[in-house]
């Protein structure tokens, strides 16, 4: 591993983004990736550039040439005045981004905490009027959160969305923000309330090392919940959070690909991410293996630095402020091989360049919430040269993207009701068995070292009804070219694609991997995935999926992945 300190790496990466984010500031002081124009669009992600700007302005470090920089100071003042102007008298904010409009007022705890941390760094340097306005706006925002989101739920002991009427990760970050704000602004009642609820939230962590948002793991958002627990634990000195941080670190590192991205087939809320999550970074650094994991996340983020948001750069700043240095151990994703399980239903195995995961996570469906996906995807496959090979992202109202499905439309049987991990430590293959309403489905995965992975899919069907269909999702995107068994090349574009076995020849290859497809399967494109984060739940063409679909049959179906050369 690199000998550079974790703090130094955080600061170096943050400093490398300054020229870019200075160029993103509009004349009204906001930061935005969109070109400046008359618009109502506004988001809290990019406003968090304020925190790294403040950190770099005040910090003396060999990796930081921005200390005391006049342009940076001007950007800080302009953005702070812009933020003050976005906060109403009652402390609330309004948001509009890419067609998503929140008509009701809200307060973004993520932005408010970044703002408060920047205030702490700049206290005594800000013009007196600016400092007073910052304090007034942040006090009002935190007061709104207390009244609207904390007091109504002050007696809860479970922290899923069903109990607290918001996402678990939001609530964790509300509590850590209010602890800090209560300490900063001498509001002892906020400190006491946040401490009491945070201890209960910490106790609500699942034994498997995550916090539920609905039912089961949501690895992407669990980073944020973990982050709130880390903030509270560090700032308060309350050691009750330490076991939860240790357990959560272990779970996250084992369910992360070597490119730093969380394994998507376990996630009940988000599809496959495009970059590592830096939330919780400082919490990981409390442990030797966690420091190795934090370095992995930082180095992989550095490879995609041109694409990061202000929110990610703010996490780099927090990493510098709170990361702990010390001995580093190799994290699980970088080990030559490992195997881990979750709750006796899911399993992940790495061997050489391959990572295969089988999810047996089951959850009740929640049709009323667009932010919770149906747990219908069973397998993910990753390879060092190709990255994600089989996309195991879950979806919603889309049985056509389920790994196993019987029937169509509202009557489709595509979400498992229960599951169990059949294989044990030391077995040569991993086996997960799941019960659907009308059939039992089994997934078997066997590694062959660097030579590849074999996945076997089997079903035991009840009498009558349509056949069970198997759907696999090779991770091939719009504009990407793949080759068929006979050597012909296909580039995904706007045109629909349907290839039967005689046309594709039983195999496809892309990014150095060759997939030998299940016998009798068809290739179809495009399938547009459900999007939790758009106004109408539609996805842009860039998100369209290519699928391999066919009947499982009594003999089962086999997919073999190998290096293509």
pLDDT in tens, 493-535: 999 999 999 999 999 999 999 999 999 999 999 999 999 988 8
Among residues 130, 131, 122, 117, the alpha carbon closest in space to that of 57 is found at: 122
Are residue 402 and residue 270 in the same domain, yes or no?
no
Residue 284 belongs to some domain of the structure: yes
Residue 397 belongs to some domain of the structure: yes
* Total domains in the fold of the chain: 2
* Full domain range(s) for residue 495: 337-563
Are residue 284 and residue 209 in the same domain, yes or no?
yes
Q: What is the pLDDT of residues 32-45, one digit of tens each?
A: 988 887 666 788 89
> Above 80 in pLDDT, residue 464?
no
Q: What is the pLDDT of residues 321-370, one digit of tens each?
A: 999 999 999 999 999 999 999 999 999 999 999 999 999 999 999 999 99
Residue 1 belongs to some domain of the structure: no
DSSP of 412-427: -B-S-SEEEE---TT-
Are residue 367 and residue 277 in the same domain, yes or no?
no
Are residue 187 and residue 267 in the same domain, yes or no?
yes
> Above 90 in pLDDT, residue 17?
yes
Q: Does the predicted TM-score (pTM) go above 0.75?
A: yes
Distances (CA, A) of 205 to 136, 140, 251, 289, 418: 35, 31, 12, 21, 22
What CATH number does residue 473 fall under?
Answer: 2.70.98
Among residues 143, 142, 118, 141, the alpha carbon closest in space to that of 130 is found at: 118
Boundary of a domain, candidates 291, 316, 333: 333
Give bridge partners of residue 468 from the DSSP assignment.
Answer: 406
The residue with greater pLDDT, 228 or 97, is: 228
Exposure string for 253-275, b = 16+ CB within 10 A, e = fewer? bbbbbbbbbbbbbbbbbbbbeeb
What is the pLDDT at residue 534?
86
> Above 90 in pLDDT, residue 3?
no
d(C-alpha 354, C-alpha 340), whole Å: 14
Are residue 47 and residue 25 in the same domain, yes or no?
yes
Are residue 320 and residue 382 in the same domain, yes or no?
no
**Mean pLDDT, range 402-415, rounded to an integer:** 95
Tokens of 498: 């349907």
What is the pLDDT at residue 149?
96
What is the pLDDT at residue 99?
61
Phi, psi of 149 (to 5 degrees): -120, -25
Collect all residues with Cβ–Cβ distance below 8 Å to 29 and sequence separation of at least 6.
Answer: 78, 79, 80, 81, 82, 83
Q: What percent of the chain has pLDDT over 90?
A: 92
Are residue 251 and residue 383 in the same domain, yes or no?
no
Are residue 128 and residue 201 in the same domain, yes or no?
yes
d(C-alpha 412, C-alpha 401), whole Å: 12
Are residue 315 and residue 346 in the same domain, yes or no?
no
Residue 119 belongs to some domain of the structure: yes
Are residue 433 and residue 377 in the same domain, yes or no?
yes
Exposure string for 4-37, b = 16+ CB within 10 A, e = fewer? eebbbbbbbbbbebbeebbebbbeebbbbeeeee
d(C-alpha 189, C-alpha 204), whole Å: 23
Collect all residues with Cβ–Cβ distance below 8 Å to 235 and sequence separation of at least 6.
Answer: 176, 179, 180, 183
Boundary of a domain, candidates 315, 333, 351: 333
What is the pLDDT at residue 43?
84
What CATH number does residue 107 fall under?
Answer: 1.50.10.100
**Residues constituting the chain:** 565
d(C-alpha 98, C-alpha 371), whole Å: 17
Are residue 292 and residue 173 in the same domain, yes or no?
yes
- For 89, counting Cβ atoms within 10 Å of its Cβ (0-12 exposed, 13-18 middle, 19+ buried), the class is exposed
Q: For helices 6-15 and 288-302, give the axis angle rounded to 10 degrees.
A: 20
Q: What is the pLDDT of residues 293-308, one digit of tens each?
A: 999 999 999 999 999 9
Residue 477: strand, helix, or coil: coil
The DSSP 8-state label assigned to residue 147 in this structure reads: I
Phi, psi of 192 (to 5 degrees): -65, -45
Q: What is the pLDDT of residues 105-151, one digit of tens each?
A: 899 999 999 999 999 999 999 999 999 999 999 999 999 999 999 99
Phi, psi of 312 (to 5 degrees): -65, -40
Sign of CA dihedral 343, 349, 355, 356: negative
Are residue 417 and residue 316 in the same domain, yes or no?
no
d(C-alpha 244, C-alpha 413), whole Å: 37
Residue 435: strand, helix, or coil: strand
Boundary of a domain, candidates 274, 301, 333: 333
Residue 277 belongs to some domain of the structure: yes
Among residues 276, 273, 314, the alpha carbon closest in space to that of 294 is found at: 276
> Above 60 in pLDDT, residue 375?
yes
d(C-alpha 164, C-alpha 148), whole Å: 11
Whether residue 327 contacts residue 291, with contact meaning beta carbons closer than 8 Å, is answered with yes
| Maximal CA-CA distance, the chain | 78
What is the pLDDT at residue 1?
44
């Amino acid at each position: 591993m690199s000998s550079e300190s974790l703090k130094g790496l955080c600061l170096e990466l943050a400093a490398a983004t300054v020229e870019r984010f200075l160029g993103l500031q509009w004349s009204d002081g906001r930061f935005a990736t969109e070109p400046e124009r008359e618009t109502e669009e506004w988001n809290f992600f990019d406003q968090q550039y304020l925190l790294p700007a403040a950190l770099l302005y005040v910090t003396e470090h060999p990796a930081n040439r921005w200390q005391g920089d006049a342009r940076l100071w001007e950007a800080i003042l302009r953005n702070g005045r812009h933020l003050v102007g976005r906060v109403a008298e009652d402390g609330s904010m309004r948001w509009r981004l890419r067609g998503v409009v929140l008509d009701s007022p809200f307060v973004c705890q993520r932005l408010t905490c970044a703002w408060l941390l920047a205030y702490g760094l700049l206290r005594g340097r800000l013009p007196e009027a600016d400092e007073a306005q910052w304090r007034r706006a942040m006090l009002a925002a935190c007061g709104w959160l207390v009244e609207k989101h904390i007091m109504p739920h002050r007696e809860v002991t479970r922290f899923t969305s069903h109990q607290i009427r918001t996402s678990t990760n939001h609530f964790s970050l509300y509590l850590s923000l209010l602890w800090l704000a209560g300490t900063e602004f001498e509001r002892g009642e906020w400190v006491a309330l946040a401490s009491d609820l945070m201890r209960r939230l910490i106790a609500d962590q699942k034994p498997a090392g995550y916090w539920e948002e609905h039912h089961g793991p949501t690895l992407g958002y669990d980073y944020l919940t973990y982050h709130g627990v880390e903030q509270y634990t560090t700032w308060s000195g309350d050691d009750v959070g330490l076991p939860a941080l240790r357990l959560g670190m272990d779970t996250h590192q084992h369910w992360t690909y070597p490119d730093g991205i969380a394994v998507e087939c376990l996630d009940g809320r988000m599809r496959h991410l495009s970059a590592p999550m830096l939330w919780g970074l400082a919490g990981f650094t409390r442990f030797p293996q966690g420091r190795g994991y934090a370095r992995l996340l930082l180095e992989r983020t550095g490879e995609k630095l041109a694409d990061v948001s202000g929110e990610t750069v703010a996490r780099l700043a927090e990493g510098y402020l709170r990361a702990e240095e010390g001995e580093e151990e190799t994290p699980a994703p970088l080990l030559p091989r490992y195997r881990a399980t979750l709750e006796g239903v899911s399993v992940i195995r790495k061997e050489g360049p391959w990572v295969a995961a089988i999810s047996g996570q089951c959850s009740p469906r929640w049709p009323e919430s667009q932010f919770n996906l149906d747990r219908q995807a069973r397998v993910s496959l990753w390879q060092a040269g190709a990255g994600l090979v089989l996309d195991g992202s879950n979806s919603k109202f889309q049985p056509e993207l389920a790994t196993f499905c019987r029937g169509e439309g509202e009557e489709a049987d595509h979400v498992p009701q229960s599951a169990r991990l059949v294989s044990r430590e030391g077995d040569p293959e991993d086996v997960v068995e799941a019960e659907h309403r009308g059939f039992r489905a089994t997934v078997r995965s066997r590694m062959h070292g660097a030579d590849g992975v074999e996945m076997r899919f089997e079903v035991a069907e009840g009498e009558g009804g349509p056949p069970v269909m198997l759907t696999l999702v090779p991770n091939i995107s719009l504009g990407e070219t793949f080759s068929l068994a006979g050597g012909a090349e296909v580039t995904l574009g706007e045109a629909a694609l349907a290839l039967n076995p005689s046309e594709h020849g039983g195999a496809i290859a892309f990014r150095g991997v060759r997939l030998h497809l299940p016998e009798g399967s068809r290739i179809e494109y495009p399938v547009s995935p459900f999007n939790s984060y758009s106004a109408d739940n539609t996805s842009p063409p860039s998100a369209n999926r290519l699928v391999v679909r066919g009947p499982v049959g009594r003999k089962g179906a086999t997919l073999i992945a190998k290096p293509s050369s």
